[in-house]
Structure formats: structure tokens, C-alpha cells
């Protein structure tokens, strides 16, 4: 892989900013179900929830990568089928200091995508046939480095914890609503009082939890981009891949549905806008290497 010059100060600044944002968002994501628990059951509820959260953090949510790949109907790729791809993944995994080389899987689909599951000890990376046909070697290295960065940074465990928090918050909000409906006749008769402020906070908690979870996902994507640059030394390769993937995705929707569908509101997106990701990559690369605009590949 070609080594490109990287602005170390800009890289470190962006990395620390992402880590701080992640810490704040994760803390808020865990605090939301704690608030919901406290609104329902007070301090006794927190005494149950807090140890459960720490247990999830320590143990993590372990799902076999092979089961996930079987669910997506991905088939294993052998080193004989894709020797260059295996060498690339092996080199990136060694640079990322993973305990085991991730297994490679292939999905036969024209969609251009890649994803990773598992952790440093047991992981898998899936690529689509459309991705292999679309990207050149530098771009493919950037995408694979991004996915391996998710494994290295334990993003899958973080997002699992955020997902659990979101589900628990929704469950508690639904339970609170049922309790209010059950006690509504007694409240109308003046036998009990309903704390409408607490109820409003409880009902708003799932929506806030969702926004925080989406925000955490976007920051982890930024962080994976920066870690990928550290692994490859090539911010331009990843930026080119992002631009090409964006163009292919929009072209796909244009072919399927005519005009491309409108983007989701920023707060609901799990991935940052491609233009913003490219702009941040340009901040850590040599001046003039890449720009913030998406250039449509020929």
C-alpha cells in the first residue's frame, strides 16, 4: 500500500474530538433509560439498572459472526478464490493489531456495500460482488480498513449497548403509558394524582434515545474513517471510495425509482453525509490532495 503524508496534528485533533463526542453521547444514551427507570420506580429501579448496564459493558453482546453471515446468506471466501483480497485483509488486520484475522464472506448482489461483525478475537468482514466490481485496489483498501477499524475500535459493542439502551427505554415508556391508562379512571375520580411532567419526560425518552443512538453511530463512522487512514496511510483512497459509493447509490435509486429519494433529516441518519466525511479526510491529508466536493467518477 502506498504511504501518503498525513497531517498528524489534524488527525489527532479529529480523533480526540470524536472520542469525546462518543463518550458524551454514550453517557447520555445510558442515562436516558436510567431516567425512565427512576421516573417509574425511583431509586430502587436504578439499583437494578446500573449493575445491568455494567454487566453488558463487561461481557458485551456476543453473537457468532458465522450466524450473522448465514442470516445474510453470505458465503465464505477462500484464499484460493481471492488471494489479493485475503492478503489485503491480513495486512490491515495486523496493522490494526487484531488478535485474529477476520474471515471473509461474499454476498452476490449488485449493491455496493461492506460490513463487519464480531470483535478482535472472532470477526468477519462481508463484501458484495458489486463492491469488488466497482472499486479499484486503493479504494477497496480504504473501505476494508474502515470496516476493520470498527472491529478495532469495538464499535459493534458500543452500538449494541446503545441499541439495548434504546430498546429498554422504549419498553419502560410503554410500561409507563400502560400504568397511566390503568390508573386513569382513578385519576379522573380524584383517587390518585398523575405527574404529567414525569409522564411527558417518560414518553419523550424513546425519541431522545433514538436521536442519541443515531448521533453515536455517526461519530463512530467518523472515527472509523480516521482509524482507516492510520491503517492505510492513504486518506485519498478512502475519500475516492466514499465518492464512488455515493454516486453508485444515487444512480441505483435513480434507475429504480426515477429521481433520487430525499435524504433523511441529519439527526435521523446513521451515517454522516459523504461530503462531510470527505471534508474531514481532507483535513488530515496533504493540502490539495482531496476536496470536500463529490466528484462523479467517469
pLDDT above 70 for 44? no
Q: Is 147 a catalytic residue?
A: yes
**pLDDT for the residue numbered 1:** 45
pLDDT above 70 for 188? yes
- What average pLDDT does the segment 140-166 reach? 90
Q: Do 252 and 111 form a contact (C-beta atoms < 8 A)?
A: yes
Q: What is the pLDDT of residues 79-134, one digit of tens each?
A: 999 999 999 999 999 999 999 999 999 999 999 999 999 988 999 999 999 999 99
**pLDDT for the residue numbered 89:** 96
pLDDT band at 194 (very low <50, low <70, confident <90, very high): confident
Strands 114-118 and 123-128: antiparallel
Q: Which of 37, 139, 147, 236 is catalytic?
A: 147
- What average pLDDT does the segment 150-168 reach? 86
Q: Please tell me the least confidently modeled range out of 41-45, 200-204, 292-296.
A: 292-296
pLDDT above 80 for 146? yes
Amino acid at each position: 500500500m502506498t504511504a501518503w503524508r498525513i497531517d498528524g496534528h489534524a488527525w489527532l485533533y479529529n480523533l480526540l474530538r470524536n472520542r469525546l463526542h462518543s463518550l458524551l453521547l454514550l453517557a447520555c444514551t445510558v442515562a436516558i433509560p436510567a431516567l425512565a427507570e427512576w421516573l417509574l420506580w425511583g431509586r430502587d429501579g436504578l439499583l437494578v439498572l446500573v449493575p445491568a448496564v455494567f454487566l453488558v459493558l463487561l461481557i458485551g453482546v456476543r453473537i457468532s459472526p458465522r450466524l450473522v453471515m448465514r442470516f445474510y446468506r453470505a458465503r465464505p471466501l477462500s484464499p484460493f478464490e481471492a488471494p489479493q483480497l485475503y492478503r489485503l485483509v491480513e495486512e490491515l488486520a495486523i496493522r490494526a493489531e487484531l488478535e485474529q484475522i477476520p474471515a471473509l464472506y461474499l454476498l452476490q448482489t449488485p449493491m455496493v456495500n461492506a460490513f463487519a461483525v464480531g470483535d478482535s478475537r472472532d470477526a468477519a468482514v462481508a463484501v458484495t460482488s458489486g463492491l469488488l466490481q466497482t472499486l479499484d485496489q486503493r479504494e477497496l483498501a480504504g473501505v476494508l480498513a474502515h470496516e476493520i477499524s470498527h472491529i478495532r475500535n469495538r464499535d459493534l459493542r458500543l452500538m449494541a449497548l446503545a441499541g439495548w439502551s434504546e430498546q429498554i427505554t422504549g419498553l419502560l415508556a410503554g410500561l409507563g403509558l400502560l400504568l397511566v391508562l390503568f390508573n386513569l379512571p382513578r385519576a379522573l375520580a380524584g383517587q390518585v394524582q398523575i405527574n404529567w411532567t414525569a409522564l411527558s419526560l417518560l414518553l419523550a425518552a424513546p425519541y431522545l434515545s433514538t436521536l442519541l443512538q443515531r448521533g453515536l453511530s455517526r461519530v463512530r463512522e467518523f472515527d472509523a474513517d480516521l482509524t482507516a487512514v492510520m491503517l492505510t496511510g492513504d486518506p485519498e483512497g478512502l475519500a475516492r471510495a466514499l465518492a464512488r459509493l455515493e454516486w453508485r447509490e444515487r444512480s441505483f435509486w435513480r434507475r429504480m425509482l426515477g429521481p433520487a429519494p430525499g435524504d433523511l433529516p441529519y439527526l435521523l441518519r446513521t451515517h454522516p453525509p459523504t461530503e462531510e466525511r470527505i471534508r474531514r479526510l481532507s483535513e488530515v491529508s496533504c493540502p490539495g490532495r482531496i476536496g470536500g466536493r463529490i466528484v462523479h467518477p467517469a
